[in-house]
Structure 1
Amino acid sequence: MSHEYRSLPIGPVMCDTCFQSGEKVEMLPHPRLPPEDQAWSDAQHVELQSYRCPECEGVQVFRVD
């Protein structure tokens, strides 16, 4: 499986899922990465940050540059 993470945007992180349905919802930092992403981060020594949408509960993971 390929792990390609987008860079963490500057400014608010907007939910892609909600945006597709016409809503603009700002995601909130999530304290834990999903286990698969945490394992990849540890193995690759790359810092990742997850964000959770308060509206749809979706989680997105970004690379911290």
Structure 2
Amino acid sequence: MAGFVVLLIVIILRRGNRGTENADGLLLEQRRREQAFNDRQIYNSRSVHNGPPTITDSYRNQP
């Protein structure tokens, strides 16, 4: 198990933060970064836990 963890660490460290060499890769990275930002805004704790109740919430509260 420890050998597997060491292998994963070595692989991740070797990858580093290398960028892509072509424009297609840069565009993909930019879209993924924007999507990750949007997901963090939409699915943050405040918006998830303080939203209006849904149909399943009322179903759960029935005896």
Fold conserved (TM > 0.5)? no
Give the number of the structure whose residues are more often strand, by fraction.
1
Bigger Rg, which one: 2
Give the number of the structure whose residues are more often helix, by fraction.
2
Alignment TM-score, normalising by the size of structure 2: 0.23
Q: Of the two structures, which has the highest relative contact order with CA contacts closer than 8 Å and spacing of 6 or more?
A: 1
Alignment TM-score, normalising by the size of structure 1: 0.22
